[in-house]
Amino acid sequence: MSDSLHTRAQQLLAQSLIEGIAPADDAWLRRHLKDCPECREHAAATNDLLRALRAVPIDVPRDLAARTQMRVRLRAQETAGASGSGLILWGLTAMSWLLGVMSAPLVWRAFAWIGEEFRVPKLAMEMGFVLWWTIPALFAVAAVLHQRGVASNAKRF
């Protein structure tokens, strides 16, 4: 029997395990294995190799599943809590902006009165009015960024 027949048989054998072979090739391989002790031994060795691969004994630590279940539940609670507090924060921010818009004319009048009473330059009064508006928003942004930082730190391990 020629070497090329053995080579073909061994290639088909590997191919049949990895991606499958056509029925005609399968029939040829079976016939060849029947007549060729060398390739039959090769096929048996391959089966032993794969059986050994499937038999690699790796045991799961006894309490790993239970520990994982608990950790997953805790994380689920944490993230649910974080998303709840995020909603509260956004709600408070929206309410703050609404109240700010509604009270803007009154605040402007108050600033104008203070400006007149204490002879503050108009530019300084306008800047004071802008700061009055932006400082709460800056605090809100700082709070959101802080919250995100805490959440991303918690995700690391």
Partner 1 sequence: MSVDTQAIANGLRQRDPELLDLLIEQFQHRLFRYLVFLTGDQALSEDLFQETWIRVMERGHQYNAKSKFESWLFAIARNLVIDVSRRKKMRSLEELADPDSNQPFEPPDLHGVSALQMLVARENEQAIQLSLLKIPAYYREVLLLRFHEELGLEEIAAVLSTPISTVKSRLYRGLTALKNALPESAPRGAA
Rounded to 5°, angle at Cα 151 from 148 and 154: 150
Q: Name residues contacting partner 1, limited to 4-23 (CB under 8 A).
A: 10, 13-14, 17-19
The nearer residue to partner 1, 75 or 146, going by C-beta atoms, is: 75
User: Least Å distance between CB 24 and partner 1?
Assistant: 19
By CB under 8 A, residue 30 contacts partner 1: no
CA 22-28-30 angle, to 5 degrees, is 100
Torsion angle of alpha carbons 20, 21, 27, 30, nearest 10°?
-50
6 contacts: CB under 8 Å, gap ≥ 6: 36, 38, 39
Q: How far is the CB of 57 from partner 1 (least distance, A)?
A: 5
In this complex, which beta carbon is closest to partner 1, that of residue 19 or of residue 117? Answer: 19
* Interface mask toward partner 1 for 46-65; x: CB under 8 A: xxxxxxxxxxxxx-xx--xx
Residue 84, token pair as written in the block:
């709840």
138 is a site residue for partner 1 (CB under 8 A) = no
Give the one residue of 5, 8, 42, 97 binding partner 1; rule: CB under 8 A.
Answer: 42
Q: Is 97 exposed, middle or buried (0-12, 13-18, 19+ CB in 10 A)?
A: middle
Q: Counting contacts by CB under 8 A, is residue 152 touching partner 1?
A: no
The site that binds partner 1 (CB under 8 A) totals a number of residues, namely: 37
Distances in whole angstroms, Cα of residue 19 to Cα of each of 15, 23, 32, 89: 6, 13, 20, 56
Positions in 70-109 near partner 1 (CB under 8 A): 71-73, 75-76, 79
Q: What are the residues binding partner 1 (CB under 8 A)?
A: 10, 13-14, 17-19, 42-58, 60-61, 64-65, 67-69, 71-73, 75-76, 79, 157
